[in-house]
A and B are shown apart, each in its own frame.
Chain A
Amino acid sequence: MSIKTAQESGLALCPKCHKLNDMKQSADNNARILCSRCCGMFYPRKPYSLQYTLAWNIAALIAFIPANIYPIMILYSMGIGEPNTILSGIGEFIDYGLYPIAVIIFTASIIVPLIKIIGLFLLVYRVHTGVRLRPDKHSKFYHALEFLGPWSMLDVFVVALLVAVVELGFVTSVSAGPAINYFTLTVIFTMIAANSFDPRLLWDKKQGSKNAKEENDD
């Protein structure tokens, strides 16, 4: 193995300013280090990364249930309210024949949160056990998850816009439903979960098992 990591050389990278710092006294991963360039405290690896990711992930999964049960917006026309959940809103688009929009909303508000939650569970599991761990593939997967995160807010912004624009008194008006709270929480929780996952753990685990194998061979 030709590539050395900074950690093995007794160095640690500041996550904010990308300055390499000497890990002076100990090689302990949970020791706080003061960055010599930006004067911020940081850890060589995010502490309890897997535990935090798992916890935020479970919270996101729980919040995702009421987000789909309760109506996300209520359309009033002539004084009669018609509640819409996320799924029934998508169904409406399909009824009108607007398939591209239906696909965009379905991707942003159902598929992306689910893929993020399931994907992070998978990553945490793989890093914890080291079973069939392929760091190159998995780190690409992680970056895709991180990139997709904010796009789930789409539905929230659409509801916010509709509430503001469609305000024609008795004739038609739109008001937000309770699901929007839970849905936003889902998105925020998955974003924090993705942020607390440390992709460097993938490589550490692989390197660790490889080193152990080499020792066994000797």
Chain B
Amino acid sequence: MTKIKNTKQLIACQQCDALYDTPVLKLGESAKCTRCGSILAERKVDSIERSFYWSLAGIMLSVPAILLPIMGVTLVGQYHHASLLDCILALIDNGFFMIATLVFLFTLAVPVVRLLGAFYITYSFKFNRLKPSLLHFFRAYHHLDNWAMLNVFMLGIVVSMYKLLDDTELSVNMGLLAFILWLICSTMASSALDQDYVWQELENKFVD
């Protein structure tokens, strides 16, 4: 075992544990692991600003995306439409409580909490209100990484439209537009956020 340098000068690949010297990156560059090809580190352009505005837009859009009807059907003179919230309520009416809870979590709670989290973090950075508690907050934020499924729900909307198109008259409502915009905002907000930068800044400020 060799003498260990300062751990800040080293970086390890998250996927295969290979050890490298910390690369010096310019804005917009990223470093890849030579062994497994996954991204080691990257510096995103204008990360805090972009993530701040995307998440702000996402928070504002989340209300119409959840409450406005996404689509409606007409059959023999009767009309009925449903929003994202109606899907969950319909499942509860049917007695499928587990599915209702999971659909609620994956398509409503997790995306909203993630947007609020990204907003809070970028807000604190933008206006210089850094607190030590942000360390714990950002750690908790990462627990939700895998569980937002707005994109899958979007595909679900498309598939069920095809299903309904055959034997009913289908109408598309404003909720669909709001939902698509919401999906774009939440994807952009989380992909624009530069995690390495946030961790580095928090560490420099509070740990040392």
Q: Tally inter-chain residue pairs, CB-CB below 8 A.
A: 209
By a CB distance below 8 angstroms, the chain A residues around B90 are: 160, 163-164, 167
Report A-chain residues with C-beta under 8 Å of the C-beta of B164.
Answer: 162, 165-166
Give every chain B residue within 8 A of A22 (Cβ-Cβ): 4, 7
Closest residue of chain A to B159, judged by CB? A158
Bound together, the chains give a CA A105 to CA B162 distance in angstroms of 12
A19–B199 CB distance below 8 A: yes
Taking the closest CB of chain A, its distance from the CB of B99, in whole angstroms, is 6
CB 8 Å contact bits of A164-183 with B (1 = contact, 0 = none): 11111101100110001100
Q: Which B residue's beta carbon lies closest to that of A178?
A: B96
Contact residues, A177-210 vs B (CB, 8 A): 180-181, 184, 188, 191, 195, 199-200, 202-204
- Whether the pair A157, B107 counts as a contact (CB closer than 8 A) is yes
Q: Is the CB of B94 within 8 A of A157?
A: no
Q: Does A4 contact B (CB under 8 A)?
A: yes
CA distance A151 to B4 in the complex (A): 43
Q: A136 at interface (Cβ–Cβ under 8 A)?
A: yes
CB pair A160–B103 under 8 Å, yes or no, is yes
Asked if A3 meets B152 with Cβ closer than 8 Å, knowing A8-B1, A98-B162, A184-B102, the reply is no
Q: In the complex, which residues of chain B have a beta carbon less than 8 angstroms from the beta carbon of A16?
A: 139, 142
A153 touches B152 (CB 8 A): yes
Cβ 8 A contact of B199, one of A11, A18, A166, A168: A18
Q: Looking at chain B's contact residues, is the secondary structure mostly helix, strand, loop, or mixed?
A: helix
Q: Give chain A interface residues in 1-51, CB to chain B under 8 Å.
A: 3-11, 13, 15-22, 36-40
Name the residue of chain A whose CB is nearest to the CB of B80. Answer: A167
**A161: which of B35, B82, B196 is its contact (CB, 8 Å)?**
B82
Q: Given the complex of chains A and B, what is the CA–CA distance between A13 and B16 in angstroms?
A: 11
Across the interface, B91 reaches (CB within 8 A) one of A105, A139, A163, A165, namely A163
A154 / chain B contacts, CB cutoff of 8 Å? 152, 155-156, 159
Interface membership of B174, Cβ < 8 A: no
Q: Please name the residue on chain A nearest to B106 by beta carbon.
A: A153
Check B4–A11 contact: CB distance below 8 A.
yes
Instruction: Identify which of A17, A165, A195, A202 contacts B80 (C-beta below 8 A).
Output: A165
Any chain A CB within 8 A of the CB of B135?
yes
- Is B87 within 8 A of A161, CB to CB? yes
Does the CB pair A176–B99 fall under 8 Å? yes
- Residues of chain A contacted by B125 (CB below 8 angstroms): none
Closest 10 CB pairs of A and B: A157-B156, A164-B82, A6-B12, A164-B90, A164-B87, A5-B17, A38-B139, A20-B7, A203-B16, A161-B160
